Structure 1
Amino acid sequence: MSVAPATVPGMPSDTAVQPSFEELGTPLRDVTFVVVDLETTGGRVADSWITEIGAVKVRGGEVLGELQSLVNPGRPVPAFVARLTGITTAMVATAPPLELVLPSFLEFARDAVLVAHNAPFDVGFLRDACERLGYDWPGYRVVDTVPLARRVVTRDEAPNHKLSTLAALFRARVTPEHRALADARATVDVLHALLERLAPLGVTHLEDLATAADPVPADVRRKRTLADGLPEAPGVYLFRGPGDEVLYVGTSTNIRRRVRSYFTASEKRARITEMLRIAHAVTPVVCATALEAQVRELRLITEHAPRYNRRSKHPERATWVRLTDEPYPRLSVVRDVRHGAEHIGPFTSRRTALAAVEALHDAFALRQCTARLARVSKVAGSPCALAGMGRCSAPCTVTAAPDEAYDDVARAARVALTGDPRRVVEPLAARVGLLASQERFEEAGRVTERLRAFLRAAARAQRLQPVSRCAELVAARPTGAGGWELVVVKHGRLAGTAVTGPHEDPLPVVDALRATAEAVAPPVAPAPACHPEEADLVLDWLEQPGVRLVHVSDPWSWPVRSAAAHVDLARVRAEVGAEPSGQPGDGAGGEGGQVGRHADTMAAC
C-alpha cells in the first residue's frame, strides 16, 4: 500500500514526511473481529429470549477461535421458531442458562470489534442481556455487514442482501441454516468478500470501515488523507485552496478527528462538499485551551473572510441603535459607537435594529424627524402628523422655552436603554395581550418580535458595557488535571492565556501573563475592543461555575433591573399589571444574578 507524503506542522513546507500506518489508523488486517449470531424465541427484545449463541474470532483472514452454546431461555420455544431453526424446547431444557453463557461470550469478545449481519438485532439482545444480568456493556465497536453489502453489491448481482443470498453469491464455505455457529461462519466469509470489494474504494483501515457505507463521493473520500499527520489536540484548522487561500476555518477539541469527519456521510452540507473538492491542504493551529481556539477561529474568519464560512466575517457591518446627543435626542441606526450617547446592540442586521427602534417609538413619544433642532427655536416649526397623533411632543414648535416634557421622555428612554426596560415591556406586553384577545395574532406576533429585538439588544449592550470599560481583568478556572486555566481580558478582548500544571504555583504565571499580554487601546463602550462575538465568548467563559477573579481594574457589574431579566418573553404577560416591587426583574435573576455573584467577588478582591 502506498501513502502520499504529507507535510508536518512546524517543519519547512518543502520537507516531505511519510506518515506511519499508526497515524492513518488501524489497518484492517490487524483488527480482531468477533462475528456473532444469535437465535431467539422471537424478533422483539422486550418479549423474546436467546436460545443459542455462536461466535467466530478472526484476524487477518485467520480463524482464531469459535464459541457456540445453546441457552436455556426458561420457557418453551414457540413452534414456528422450532420449525425455522430446528431448536426445540427439549434441546434447550438441559442447556446452561444465559447467566452462565453470557460471561463466556463477553470474555471471548473482549477488545474485539463485533460483526453481525443485521447487527441491531443481535447487539440489541446482547445489550439487553447485559442490562438484565447486571453487566456493564463493554462498548464494542460494531460493524453491520448489511449496509456494507448495500454499498458494493448491486441488484444485478443479488435480488436482496439476506445472509443466505450473499453467502451463495460469494460462495461461502458454510450454508446459513438459522443455527448460530453456522450463520456466524457464513458471515465471516461474507465479511471477507465485502472487505475485498471495499479495499479499492479506499476502505483499508478500521476508521474507514466505520463510515464505509456513507454515500460520500469518491473524489471527496480520496482527500481524507488531508487529515493525516494533523495533531489530535484542541485548536483551529484552515482548509486552503490551490492558491493557498483560506477556504474555511473551523475549531475542534481534536483537530485530526474533526477534519476526518468532513469526509464521511455525517457531513451533509453541499457547500462544504464543494469546498472539499477544491481544498489542497489543511493548516492546524494548536491552542492551549478551548477558549483560545474559539477566539482564534473568530479572528481568522474576520481576517480572511473565507468564502465557505457564513458567520462572523464582517464585524464592521454590525449595527447599533443610538439615542443621539442632541438638544432633543432621537433614535438612529448607526455603524459606530460614539462618546456621549446611549447605545444598544450590536444587531446582526439593520432590519432587526429597525424593529427595536419601532418598539421604542411604541413606548416613547420620541421625535422621528432627522432635522437637527436648536434648544429654543427662533421660528416655530410646523408639527408633523405624529404630533397630531400624540406620538411626539413636537419640540420643533417651541420658541419661548425648552421643551421640558420632551426632556422627561428622553430621560425615560435613556433609562430603558441603559437599565430598567419596564417602560417598554409593560405597554408592549399589554398591547400583545389586547391583540391576542381580539384574535389578531399576526399583529401580536409583529409587536412581540419588536419587543424581543429591543430586549435582546439592550441586554447585550448592558452585558458588554462593563467588560468593555474594564482595562484589565485576570481570571482563573481549575482544569480537570489539577492545574489552572488563566486568562487576561482587556476591554473585552482576550489579551493572553496560559495553563499551569497540577503542582505549579499559578501566581508567577499570572504575573508573567500580565506583563506579556497584548496592549489594547480602550474602545467607546459598550462596543468592546474586539469583535462583539469574541467579547461574548470571553463573557461566557467568565460566567462559568468555578471561575475565580484574580484581578479587576474596574467595576464589573450591571443593573439587577436590566433587560436580561426580561428577555424571557414567556413571562411578559405575567408581568403586565404587576406592581414595580413585584417585578420578576427586581431580583438578581437570569444573567443579572450571575453578574451579581462576580460583582460580590470583585468587591472582596
Structure 2
Amino acid sequence: MRLGEAKFVVFDVETTGLMPEAGDRIVEIAAIKVEGNSIVGEFNSLINCGIPVSREAFAVNNISRDMLKNAPLPSEVIPEFLDFVKDSALFAYNANFDAGFLRQEAALIGRKTDELLIIDILAMARILLPGLGKYSLLFVAAHFGLTHTQKHRALEDVKMSLDVLFKLFNILRRKQLDDFSYLLKIFSINKNLNNRMLSERMAEIQEALDLGKTIDIKYFSLIRGEVTERKVIPKKVLKQDGRDYLVGYCYLREEERFFRIDGILRLEISGQGAKV
C-alpha cells in the first residue's frame, strides 16, 4: 500500500505527569484520522481521571482541575477512542510516551492495546533528518517552515504532528520508500510485530545459507537514512550490542559488510550460487 493510500490516525495525550507506572493518568486525548491524504475524522476529549494534574504538568498543558470537573470518565472516553482508531495504524510524536499511557488506561478498563500498530514520528525525524541537532516537535516543524504555536494541548499537537508527518512522507517518497509496509518495518514500536518480522527475515536468510545462494536486498541504513539495493553472499547471522546482523560479502562495496537485519526491507533469494 502506498503512503498516499493508507488509512491511519495521529494521536496525542496530555497527562497528570510523566510516569504511568507511578500512577499518572491521561487528562486529554485527541486524534485525527486520515485516509488517502484526506482528513476523515477527528477525536478530542478531556478526561476526568480523578487525579490532580501535577504542578509541572500544569505549567506545560494548562489543564486545570476546573476544566476536568465535568469531563467524562476514562471508562467512557477510552473505549470510544479505541473504536475510533480501530483498523488503523497509529502515529504519535515520541510514541512510547503516548502508547504507554494509552496501554495503562486500556488495562484499567480490561482492554488491551498489544495489537495496535503504532509508529513513532520522532524516530522518523531523527533518522530522516540526520544532523538536525534538536528534535522537539516544534523545532522539527519550524525546520519544515511550518508555522505552528505549540500550546501543549492534545489536538493542537496532533495537527502539528500530522503536518510534520506529511513532510516526512515526502522524504520517504524521494528515497523510494513509498510503501506503508516499510514504515512498519523501520519505525514501529510494536514489539510483537517487530519480533515477528525479524524472525521471518532471519528464516529467509537461513534458507539462503542452507542453499548456498546469494540474496538481493533493499537495505535502509538506520544511521545514514540511505536506501540501497545490494547483492550479498550471506555468511552468518550474529548478535552484537543487542542487535541482529547479517554478515556477508557485498558486491556493491566489494567487501564483507554487516547489515542490521531490521534494516532489510526486502529480501529475495537469487538462483545464483554464492561465489565471490
2:245 maps to what in 1? 268
2:112 maps to what in 1? 136
1:434 maps to what in 2? none
Contact 1:51 1:71 in 2 (8 A): yes
1:335-346 counterparts in 2 under 5 A? none
SS at match of 1:96: coil
When normalised by structure 1's length, the TM-score is: 0.34
SS at match of 1:268: strand
1:33 maps to what in 2? 8
Contact 1:45 1:125 in 2 (8 A): yes
Contact 1:71 1:92 in 2 (8 A): yes
In structure 2, C-alpha distance between the alignment counterparts of 1:190 and 1:80, rounded to whole Å: 27
User: Is structure 2 residue 67 aligned with structure 1 residue 67?
Assistant: no
Q: 1:435-485 deviations in whole A, cap 9, x for unaligned?
A: xxxxxxxxxxxxxxxxxxxxxxxxxxxxxxxxxxxxxxxxxxxxxxxxxxx
From 59, 73, 78, the counterpart of 1:102: 78
Name the amino acid aligned to 1:115: F
Q: 1:269-304 deviations in whole A, cap 9, x for unaligned?
A: 3x32636867x96248xxxxxxxxxxxxxxxxxxx7
In structure 1, C-alpha distance between the alignment counterparts of 2:128 and 2:113, rounded to whole Å: 31
From 60, 79, 87, the counterpart of 1:84: 60
Contact 1:236 1:249 in 2 (8 A): no
For residues 176 and 33 of structure 1, do their structure 2 counterparts lie closer, same or farther at Cα, with a shift above 3 Å needed?
Answer: farther
Contact 2:17 2:53 in 1 (8 A): no
For residues 30 and 88 of structure 1, do their structure 2 counterparts lie closer, same or farther at Cα, with a shift above 3 Å needed?
Answer: same
SS at match of 1:210: helix
In structure 2, C-alpha distance between the alignment counterparts of 1:147 and 1:283, rounded to whole Å: 33
Q: 1:311-348 deviations in whole A, cap 9, x for unaligned?
A: xxxxxxxxxxxxxxxxxxxxxxxxxxxxxxxxxxxxxx
Deviation at 1:89, TM superposition (A): 0.7
Contact 1:203 1:212 in 2 (8 A): no
In structure 2, C-alpha distance between the alignment counterparts of 1:159 and 1:58, rounded to whole Å: 30
2:165 maps to what in 1? 191
Deviation at 1:138, TM superposition (A): 5.5
Deviation at 1:176, TM superposition (A): 2.3
1:150-165 counterparts in 2 under 5 A? 150-155=126-131, 158-165=132-139
In structure 2, C-alpha distance between the alignment counterparts of 1:40 and 1:161, rounded to whole Å: 21
Contact 1:31 1:206 in 2 (8 A): yes
From 111, 114, 117, the counterpart of 2:87: 111
Gaps of at least 5 residues in structure 1 are 1-25, 215-232, 251-265, 285-303, 309-605
2:26 maps to what in 1? 50
Contact 1:248 1:307 in 2 (8 A): no
For residues 70 and 124 of structure 1, do their structure 2 counterparts lie closer, same or farther at Cα, with a shift above 3 Å needed?
Answer: same
1:564-583 counterparts in 2 under 5 A? none
Q: Which has the larger radius of gyration?
A: 1
From 69, 75, 88, the counterpart of 1:93: 69
In structure 2, C-alpha distance between the alignment counterparts of 1:193 and 1:240, rounded to whole Å: 36
In structure 1, C-alpha distance between the alignment counterparts of 2:37 and 2:102, rounded to whole Å: 25
Deviation at 1:29, TM superposition (A): 1.6
User: Is structure 2 residue 269 aligned with structure 1 residue 282?
Assistant: yes
In structure 2, C-alpha distance between the alignment counterparts of 1:71 and 1:125, rounded to whole Å: 13
Deviation at 1:175, TM superposition (A): 2.8
Name the amino acid aligned to 1:80: E
Name the amino acid aligned to 1:85: N
Contact 2:17 2:56 in 1 (8 A): no
Gaps of at least 5 residues in structure 2 are 189-203, 217-231, 237-242, 255-266
1:574-593 counterparts in 2 under 5 A? none
In structure 2, C-alpha distance between the alignment counterparts of 1:136 and 1:275, rounded to whole Å: 46
For residues 273 and 90 of structure 1, do their structure 2 counterparts lie closer, same or farther at Cα, with a shift above 3 Å needed?
Answer: farther
Q: 1:96-121 deviations in whole A, cap 9, x for unaligned?
A: 01110001110110011110000000
SS at match of 1:143: strand
2:223 maps to what in 1? none
SS at match of 2:42: strand
Q: 1:414-433 deviations in whole A, cap 9, x for unaligned?
A: xxxxxxxxxxxxxxxxxxxx
SS at match of 1:190: helix
When normalised by structure 2's length, the TM-score is: 0.71
For residues 241 and 210 of structure 1, do their structure 2 counterparts lie closer, same or farther at Cα, with a shift above 3 Å needed?
Answer: closer
Contact 2:14 2:27 in 1 (8 A): yes
User: Is structure 2 residue 151 aligned with structure 1 residue 177?
Assistant: yes
For residues 184 and 131 of structure 1, do their structure 2 counterparts lie closer, same or farther at Cα, with a shift above 3 Å needed?
Answer: same
In structure 1, C-alpha distance between the alignment counterparts of 2:151 and 2:249, rounded to whole Å: 44
Deviation at 1:55, TM superposition (A): 0.5
Name the amino acid aligned to 1:163: L
For residues 273 and 65 of structure 1, do their structure 2 counterparts lie closer, same or farther at Cα, with a shift above 3 Å needed?
Answer: farther
1:381-400 counterparts in 2 under 5 A? none
Contact 1:28 1:205 in 2 (8 A): yes
SS at match of 1:114: strand
Contact 1:28 1:204 in 2 (8 A): yes
Deviation at 1:207, TM superposition (A): 1.7
Deviation at 1:236, TM superposition (A): 4.0
SS at match of 1:77: coil
Name the amino acid aligned to 1:282: I
Q: 1:566-590 deviations in whole A, cap 9, x for unaligned?
A: xxxxxxxxxxxxxxxxxxxxxxxxx
Deviation at 1:50, TM superposition (A): 0.4
In structure 1, C-alpha distance between the alignment counterparts of 2:158 and 2:13, rounded to whole Å: 9
In structure 1, C-alpha distance between the alignment counterparts of 2:54 and 2:176, rounded to whole Å: 45
Name the amino acid aligned to 2:168: L
Deviation at 1:248, TM superposition (A): 4.5
Deviation at 1:128, TM superposition (A): 1.2
Q: CA RMSD in A?
A: 3.4
Contact 1:39 1:53 in 2 (8 A): yes
2:201 maps to what in 1? none
Question: Which one has more relative contact order, counting CA pairs under 8 Å at least 6 apart?
Answer: 2
1:436-451 counterparts in 2 under 5 A? none
